[in-house]
Amino acid sequence: MDLEKFFDRVNHDVLMVRVAKRVKDKKLLRLIGRYLKAGIMIGGVIHDHKEGTPQGGPLSPLLSNILLDDLDKELERWRRRICRYADDCNIYVKSKAAGEQVIQSIIRFLTKKLRLQVNKEKSAINLPWNRKFLGYTMTPHQSPKLKVSQNSIRRAKARVKEAIRQGRGRSLPKVAGELTTFLRGWVNYFRLSQVKIAFEELDQWIRRKLRLILWRQWKTPRTRAKTRNEKIQL
């Protein structure tokens, strides 16, 4: 389940009521209120915030969890197993019929209580291994294992392709060095994956792409014929 434009549509009054239940300092409450209403500059003109929280702001993730804590407690009251991070949430039920019943109940709850809308295009009732959560998915086994979703792999490849395209005319070590920072972060994020073949296949794919840089740099058939049998260390 995904909430439609969550950070853009958070109702300030609904949020501040829930913040006030946890924060008793009036000065701090006023400061949070000013943070929410702080305008943004577009084309040199300041636009006031009437709803939503600043995306990328250090306080926004905390405020989102305070607001959606009501949803967590409601689902726990319904005895549903959930996994939520900010506005992205997976709810696990035993059947499609149960899923349809739960999603309709959630839509009513979010609309009436929190004044939020469910993104119907990104939300669906499906088997766990056909869905992704924070870039992960799972295998369709009796004892499922975490693995990297295909969508995450496609995005990683697109990032690598863009770096290589921009690297035309530059040395191979420089391009590889720039990719290293991204790849280390990517691998570290998906370190919980229990299926390692995705990493091996991505590694082989990246090596082939880097070899193409050398192939283009050799340019002439004579240079390519001379070096094609040499071992390339990547």
- pLDDT tens across 34-57, in order? 888 876 656 666 666 677 777 777
Residue 45 structure tokens? 């003109």
Rounded to whole angstroms, how far apart are CA atoms 212 and 188?
27
What's the chain's average pLDDT?
Answer: 82
Give pLDDT tens digits for 129-182. Answer: 888 888 999 898 888 899 999 999 999 999 888 888 876 666 777 888 888 888
Residues 82, 88, 93, 95, Cα dihedral to 10°: 180
Most confident of 13-27, 43-57, 108-122, 218-232: 13-27
The pLDDT of residue 35:
83
| Cα angle 134-199-173, degrees, rounded to a multiple of 5 | 110
DSSP per-residue string spanning 135-151: TEEE-SSSS--EEE-HH
The pLDDT of residue 234:
47
- What residues form DSSP beta bridges with 85? 88
Contacts of 52 (CB under 8 A, 6+ apart): 7, 8, 9, 10
Q: Using 50, 70 and 90 to split pLDDT, how confident is the model at 61?
A: confident
Q: Using 50, 70 and 90 to split pLDDT, how confident is the model at 219?
A: low
Residue 187 structure tokens? 């691998």
Contacts of 44 (CB under 8 A, 6+ apart): none
3-state DSSP assignment of residue 185: helix
User: Has residue 188 got a pLDDT over 90?
Assistant: yes
The pLDDT of residue 226:
59
- What residues form DSSP beta bridges with 2? 88
Mean pLDDT value across residues 74-103: 85
Rounded to whole angstroms, how far apart are CA atoms 66 and 76?
16
Q: Considering the entire predicted model, what is its pTM?
A: 0.69
Contacts of 72 (CB under 8 A, 6+ apart): 82, 84
Q: Using 50, 70 and 90 to split pLDDT, how confident is the model at 227?
A: low
Contacts of 158 (CB under 8 A, 6+ apart): none
User: Has residue 18 got a pLDDT over 60?
Assistant: yes
Rounded to whole angstroms, how far apart are CA atoms 172 and 167?
8
Q: Is 115 left (phi over 0), alpha (psi -120 to 50) or beta?
A: left
User: Has residue 210 got a pLDDT over 60?
Assistant: yes
The pLDDT of residue 91:
86
Rounded to whole angstroms, how far apart are CA atoms 183 and 174?
14
